[in-house]
Amino acid sequence: MKTIKLFIILLVLPALAFGKDILKGYVYDRRNQPLTGAAVRWENSKTGVATNDKGYFEINGTPRKDHMLAISHVGFNKKLVHIYDFAETQNIVLDENTELDEAVVTRTPPGRIKSRTGILQTEKITTKELHRAACCNLSESFETNPSVDVSFSDAVTGAKQIRLLGLAGTYVQTLTENYPNLRGPASIYGLDYIPGPWMESIQISKGAASVKNGYESVAGQMNVEYKKPNSAAPLSLNVFASDASRYEANADAAFILNDKLNTGVFLHYSNESASHDNNDDSFLDAPKKHQFNLMNRWHYMSGRYASQFGFRFVQDYRTSGQTMHTLNSASVNRDDPYRIFVNANRGEFYTKNSCILDEETNGNIALIFTGSYHDGKSQYAANKYNVYGNNLYASLMYETGLGKAQQLSAGISMNRDKYSQSIYPAQPVTGQPDQETTTGAYLQYTFNKDDKFIALAGLRADYGSLYGKMFVTPRLHLKYMPVEWLNMRASLGKGYRTVFVMPENSFYLASSRKIEIAGDLKQESAWNYGASISLHIPVEGEELGISGEWYRTDFDNQVVTDVDSNPHAVRFYNLQGKSYAGSFQVEASYPLFRGFNILGAYRWTNVKTTYSGKLMKKPLVSDYKALATASYETRLKKWMFDFTAQFNGGGRMPAPDAVNPLWNTTFDSFTILNAQVTKNFRNWSIYAGAENITGFRQKNPVISSENPFGNDFDATMAWGPTMGRKFYAGLRYAIGN
């Protein structure tokens, strides 16, 4: 009852608040990209403020109450804005200066921004970067990124997972709008549930993250920000088609209802209806897919109070296996083909409310409440797996400044996961955990000495109902900037995770492997520590960026996924021995000449786990990845050319049957080449490109495809692309603000 009263007070309190003459706002260009370093001042004043890397600014009102705000930026036309209401957040768009009778020097804002001032090792992928590739959904947003890998979980369902610091995506806490999301069964296919044209940006932090969002970020954290209705274009459209018969359409619209309330509506439809079996193994190289996606979000702001709320619905249907197109093969039993169906209906809602309590200390309080349901039904030949899951999450947070250099954050949170699942014919899921409620509290302290030295220390304590115990999560981050062109960071922290085996690993049903789950699985826990250094060196009027980083994760306990001990089984059991992941990465970027930017990166990973008493490299993980990208924009940004080369190292395969080995013990290195060209017009653009230009494919991703009902069938040995070269084209259209 006390908690309910507290929530009611939080919702009522903003009505009593009133603001001072502090104007807040954002500055963008015509493509809705934030302008960093834009000068903002009152018209009759000689001093002002500059926007940060998000284009955000705050400026005090003047004693004379001048209401004409002047905004300027190199390469853009100066703009005067009449301010009527100081409580209203301003969204200001500058036009590029393209006059031919004067020399204008412009600097293209990068599409991938690494924070210089933030204490966490964070990079932001902006819309500009997302537009460098097809980017139909979140899983396809990392083709030009050296830090994140995306791989297939199997060769038939199209399930994808990210990999960060050598660890699978389940060890990366996924957030949308800064609240945890895509858990359980959604962790398998959830990357496909977020359309690329909906996204405003993606933020990726490596290592142990802040304790604010919980205890789960073992390897890092990924947050997706959707387009904001108060800053997005009134109408945006995106249509896409590929020669693989993939078609999709996206639309989003922003409605400013009044000076306090606005809303955004997002629609997505896509389908892939063609059958592809280029290696003639009778199995589709990619599943047929159909997806419908709808989201509506609202934003309200009045004085010191702000509120956001919205909902989303996803319908995702997949068909794979031996379909009618492949029944001509002599190896297929026409009366009983191996068919796969994976259908999901998912709903989400969220509400976020915040109130500024004290503007002098920046004291504020916020409440987040979210929920989701996931109804998944799948069939792998005779095996049927149904899972219904729901999640509820609540977080109450308070922050305040403690003088000029210190900040304190505190909060309480609750997370509840519950699953109802069944497998036919029966598999050993009986007795496995199907629900958990975790409640906890955190305290975080930040010391910031003029952005040159920053220390962040966080501690949270949580109680989990599944294991009936309390566990503590400590985290520490340090940053030192002795000179403006050098940043050094270090971090140390612990992370925990509860494993729900079948909701997170149901794709193993696409094999004849027997699923063996130990009955005493414990909570996973691991320490992550690392260090990084970045240099921004002026060279001939441009900036050479060089960075290096090293991270290591050591597991105290891990639920081991063992496909080595028995080639006809997959075993899940508690770690007995060592398990660790090491990652070392270096990269450099430089604009060779005006409009032409290059990036080169190399990452080495060393991931080892103890399998049945033997410490071995984790299977199906590349030893290294090298990336080279080149991007060129013509003088007025009419044309854009992008090229990406990925060099993926080889690795270890799971141990094959010693008597009848059906696959090699290792896989070779391979290269993926992508290219795209974009033509920009005033309000729209067209783009065309090619993925996997060399047509590289894993030759036999489905083991024993000629006998899918036999003991050797396995479609989970995927380590490379199953589709060859693909061409695509699309159109983007946006009505200006």
Any idea how long the chain is?
737
Q: What local confidence, expressed as pLDDT, does residue 509 receive?
A: 94
* Residue 147 and residue 62 in one domain: no
Q: Mention every residue, 6+ apart, whose C-beta is less than 8 A from residue 101.
A: none
Amino acid at 729: A
Q: What local confidence, expressed as pLDDT, does residue 443 receive?
A: 98
Mean pLDDT over residues 276-283, rounded? 92
pLDDT of 2 above 50: no
> Is 105 among the domain residues?
no
pLDDT of 154 above 80: yes
Q: Mention every residue, 6+ apart, whose C-beta is less than 8 A from residue 705.
A: 281, 282, 283, 331, 713
* Residue 403 and residue 353 in one domain: yes
> Is 210 among the domain residues?
yes
- Reported as a single tens digit per residue, the pLDDT across 8-34 is 333 333 333 333 467 888 888 876 678
pLDDT of 50 above 90: no
Q: What local confidence, expressed as pLDDT, does residue 431 receive?
A: 62
% of the chain residues with pLDDT over 90: 71
Q: Mention every residue, 6+ apart, whose C-beta is less than 8 A from residue 679.
A: 638, 639, 685, 686, 687
* Residue 44 and residue 117 in one domain: no
Total structural domains within the chain? 2
**What CATH number does the domain containing 290 carry?**
2.40.170.20
Q: What local confidence, expressed as pLDDT, does residue 1 receive?
A: 45
CB 355 within 8 A of CB 13: yes
Confidence of residue 426 (pLDDT cuts 50, 70, 90): low
Q: What local confidence, expressed as pLDDT, does residue 100 receive?
A: 34
pTM summary value? 0.85
Listing DSSP states for 147-159 in one string gives: SEEEEESSSSS--
**What CATH number does the domain containing 27 carry?**
2.60.40.1120
Q: What local confidence, expressed as pLDDT, does residue 614 receive?
A: 96
Mean pLDDT over residues 189-202, rounded? 95
* Residue 82 and residue 142 in one domain: no
More confident residue, 323 or 63: 323
Helix H or strand E encompassing 473: strand 469-480
> Is 497 among the domain residues?
yes
Quote the CA–CA distance of 352 and 19 in Å, as a whole number: 20
213: nearest Cα among 458, 531, 523, 455: 458
Quote the CA–CA distance of 303 and 56 in Å, as a whole number: 18
* Residue 183 and residue 319 in one domain: yes
Confidence of residue 59 (pLDDT cuts 50, 70, 90): confident
pLDDT of 583 above 90: yes
Mean pLDDT over residues 73-99, rounded? 74
Quote the CA–CA distance of 40 and 59 in Å, as a whole number: 8
More confident residue, 274 or 113: 274
Region of poorest pLDDT, from 316-330, 399-413, 683-697: 316-330
DSSP label at residue 84: -
> Where is the domain boundary, 93, 127, 146?
93
More confident residue, 101 or 592: 592
- Reported as a single tens digit per residue, the pLDDT across 503-560 is 999 999 999 999 999 988 999 999 999 999 999 998 988 889 999 999 999 999 999 9
Q: What local confidence, expressed as pLDDT, does residue 102 receive?
A: 35
* Residue 45 and residue 180 in one domain: no
Quote the CA–CA distance of 660 and 351 in Å, as a whole number: 56
Strand intervals (E) in 466-541: 469-480, 486-497, 514-517, 524-539
* Residue 225 and residue 308 in one domain: yes
CA atoms within 13 A on the CB side of 378: 29
User: The domain containing residue 51 runs over which residues?
Assistant: 2-93
More confident residue, 37 or 474: 474
Confidence of residue 283 (pLDDT cuts 50, 70, 90): very high
Mean pLDDT over residues 340-361, rounded? 93
- CA 640, 272, 290, 385 dihedral sign is negative
* Residue 150 and residue 232 in one domain: yes
Confidence of residue 663 (pLDDT cuts 50, 70, 90): very high
More confident residue, 664 or 77: 664
Q: Where are the alpha helices (DSSP H) in 475-602?
A: 501-505
SS3 category, 187 = helix
> Is 307 among the domain residues?
yes
Average pLDDT along the chain: 89
pLDDT of 329 above 70: no
* Residue 487 and residue 567 in one domain: yes
* Residue 8 and residue 128 in one domain: no
More confident residue, 93 or 582: 582
> Is 440 among the domain residues?
yes
> Is 166 among the domain residues?
yes
Mean pLDDT over residues 350-364, rounded? 89
pLDDT of 87 above 80: no
Confidence of residue 91 (pLDDT cuts 50, 70, 90): confident
* Residue 21 and residue 125 in one domain: no
> Is 106 among the domain residues?
no
* Residue 75 and residue 128 in one domain: no
> Is 588 among the domain residues?
yes
- Reported as a single tens digit per residue, the pLDDT across 427-447 is 655 567 889 999 999 999 999
